[in-house]
């Protein structure tokens, strides 16, 4: 998507759709009629509406459109009116003016771009709203983020998603129009940043949406290498005999039932002139490119969605891409444990006892609890190889997280309260809610095995926290947080900038976290 930023009155920029934010009115007076308190147009919008035949005023006067958050109404100007350069008007409700914030701007951009993409519109102009407390540059960044996210479609395997048809159905060229704003160069810079960040989230969505036959572990490694070449990241892939020599026994055990062998993928961004003496920031992702459950086979209903069991890995790729393109002055390492969990004559079995890279033995009580097993080796490798300042892992780890939080929040836990608070703050900035969960001594006791150091699955109780307690045994004293994105990594609900499929959750939050760390260490 090409995004430009301009200043001028509404209607000064030619558009197939002009998206107009409409604030909802204040509370209606007691006893007043339904039309007594309706959304009002600014002077500039009122002048534009008169030139277009009064179509907006008629819609507002009818009471059908009240400016409530995420409400939309598409209008067509009077065919005989002026301003022929504007073909359609899209009214987008943004709620009460006093409640409008960065997320509101993001949703406005998403709604406008999504509507335009659905209608195969080539030119979109979004009128930037003015709200107290919202800086114009922050609004520009959020509008750009929302527009790029809202225009996203995963149509690679559709006939219209390839070649000339793909170009015809592409995301609209988008103009962000500010009526009055100082520092146009700064607005353009922030819009560019917002667009790059959203594009990186879309890269993560593409990876998570890709079918398992197109993206086995080697395919995920290939995509990581491609991103590295395009952005200047370094990429190393550990596989085959090198995995065995490196002691990655747990990762290899999970992948041994598949014809597609496991891989460990390492991406590195060396930003800034000086490397932090405390070590890099490490981000570790679960990369199960397809999860059948193994010998502990999943039910067939919904198994097709298990192509996205590598959404944690996708977030790592997206975040490292963004860190490189935004040239963040930080040393960031992304590590992905990639494997395919399949049933076969060579698959690991319930009852097996396997080694881990850290030397701890693991009793396999359920082969479908494979994510924590591959992460055990990845976390140990990150800790030993890089001595990180802090470490975060992201994984679609437990069904318990989906039951506890649904698609509305990510479960967060770890061994460092300050780090959890940092993640919560970064999540609020990105509108990706992070909810703290406890890690109690009882959770670890539940994961002790009578025949090995640990078992890979506990009972039904506290499933989110017992999985976290298992992972904690592989991070040493490094400040660490575990994010269970089982509920947030995939959605069947539509929002202004999400649609069915992968969400790319974590990418924007991680960048906000890295930026906060950079400021903290400055």
- pLDDT tens figures, 458-506: 999 999 999 999 999 999 999 999 999 999 999 999 999 999 999 999 9
pLDDT, tens digit, 9 for 90 and up, residues 282-316: 999 999 999 999 999 999 999 999 999 999 999 99
Residue 31: the pLDDT is: 43
Integer angstrom CA distances of residue 223 from 161, 208, 265: 19, 12, 11
Predicted pLDDT of residue 30: 41
DSSP 45-109: HHHHHHHTTSHHHHHHHHTS----TT-EEEE---TTSS-TTB--EEEEE---GGG--HHHHHHHH
The answer to whether residue 36 scores a pLDDT higher than 60 is no
Segment 16-30 mean pLDDT: 80
Residue 163 has pLDDT above 70, yes or no: no
Phi and psi dihedrals of 58, rounded to 5? -65, -40
- What's the confidence (pLDDT) of residue 315? 98
Percentage of the chain with pLDDT > 70?
Answer: 94
Question: Which residue is catalytic, options 66, 298, 360, 515?
Answer: 298
List all residues 6 or more positions away from 193 whose beta carbon is below 8 Å from its beta carbon: 141, 144, 326
Q: Which DSSP letter does residue 479 get? A: -
Q: Which residue has the higher pLDDT, 277 or 233?
A: 233
CA terminus-to-terminus distance, the chain: 34
The pLDDT confidence band at residue 28, using thresholds 50, 70 and 90, is very low
On the question of pLDDT at 34 being above 80, the answer is no
CB 314 within 8 A of CB 224: no
The model's pTM: 0.95
* Sheet with 361-363: strands ordered across: 353-355, 361-363, 454-455
User: Of the residues 106, 372, 455, 508, which is catalytic?
Assistant: 372
pLDDT, position 169: 66
**Region for 8 from its dihedrals, namely left if φ exceeds 0, alpha if ψ lies in -120 to 50, beta otherwise:** left
Q: What is the pLDDT of residues 65-105, one digit of tens each?
A: 999 999 999 999 876 665 558 899 999 999 999 999 999 99
Q: Among this protein's residues, is 372 annotated catalytic?
A: yes
pLDDT tens profile 373-427: 999 999 999 999 999 999 999 999 999 999 999 999 999 999 999 999 999 999 9
pLDDT of 444 higher than 50: yes
Report yes or no: 499 and 507 within 8 Å, Cβ to Cβ: no
Report the alpha-carbon distance of residue 322 to residue 316 in Å, rounded: 10
């Amino acid at each position: 998507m090409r995004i430009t930023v301009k200043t001028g009155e509404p209607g000064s920029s030619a558009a197939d759709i002009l998206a107009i934010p409409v604030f909802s009115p204040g509370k209606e007076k007691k006893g007043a009629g339904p039309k007594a308190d309706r959304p009002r147009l600014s002077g500039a919008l009122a002048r534009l509406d008169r030139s277009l035949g009064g179509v907006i005023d008629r819609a507002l006067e009818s009471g059908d459109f009240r400016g409530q958050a995420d409400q939309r109404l598409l209008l067509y100007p009077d065919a005989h009116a002026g301003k022929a350069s504007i073909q359609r008007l899209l009214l987008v409700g943004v709620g009460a003016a006093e409640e409008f914030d960065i997320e509101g701007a993001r949703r406005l951009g998403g709604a406008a771009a999504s509507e335009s993409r659905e209608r195969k519109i080539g030119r979109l102009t979004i009128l930037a709203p003015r709200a107290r407390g919202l800086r114009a540059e922050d609004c520009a960044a959020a509008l750009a983020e929302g527009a790029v996210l809202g225009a996203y479609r995963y149509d690679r395997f559709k006939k219209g998603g390839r070649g000339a048809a793909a170009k015809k159905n592409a995301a609209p060229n988008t103009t962000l129009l500010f009526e009055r704003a100082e520092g146009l160069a700064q607005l353009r810079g922030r819009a560019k940043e917002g667009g790059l960040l959203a594009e990186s989230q879309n890269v993560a969505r593409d990876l998570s949406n890709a079918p398992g036959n197109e993206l086995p572990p080697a395919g995920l490694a290939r995509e990581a290498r491609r991103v590295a070449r395009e952005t200047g990241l370094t990429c190393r892939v550990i596989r085959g005999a090198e995995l065995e020599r490196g002691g990655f026994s747990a990762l290899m055990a999970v992948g041994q039932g598949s014809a597609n062998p496991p891989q460990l993928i390492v991406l590195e961004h060396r930003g800034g002139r000086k490397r932090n003496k405390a070590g890099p920031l490490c981000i570790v992702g679960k990369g199960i490119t397809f999860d059948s459950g193994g010998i502990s086979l999943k039910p067939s209903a919904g198994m097709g969605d298990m192509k996205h069991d590598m959404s944690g890995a996708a977030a790592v790729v997206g975040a490292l891409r963004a860190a490189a393109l935004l040239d963040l002055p930080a040393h960031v390492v992304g590590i992905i444990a990639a494997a395919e969990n399949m049933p076969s004559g060579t698959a690991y079995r319930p009852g097996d006892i396997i080694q881990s890279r850290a030397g701890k033995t693991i009793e396999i009580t359920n082969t479908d609890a494979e994510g924590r097993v591959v992460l055990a080796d990845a976390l140990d490798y990150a800790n030993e190889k890089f001595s990180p300042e802090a470490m975060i892992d992201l994984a679609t780890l437990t069904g318990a997280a989906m039951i506890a939080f649904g698609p509305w929040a990510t479960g967060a836990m770890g061994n460092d309260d300050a780090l959890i608070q940092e993640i919560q703050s970064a999540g609020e900035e990105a509108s990706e809610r992070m909810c703290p969960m406890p890690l109690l001594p009882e959770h670890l006791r539940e994961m002790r095995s009578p025949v090995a150091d640990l078992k890979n699955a506990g009972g039904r109780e506290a499933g989110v926290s017992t999985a976290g307690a298992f992972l904690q045994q592989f991070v040493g004293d490094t400040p660490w947080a575990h994010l269970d994105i089982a509920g947030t990594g995939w959605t069947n609900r539509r929002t202004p900038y999400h649609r069915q499929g992968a969400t790319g959750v974590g990418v924007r939050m991680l960048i906000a976290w890295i930026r906060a760390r950079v400021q903290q260490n400055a």
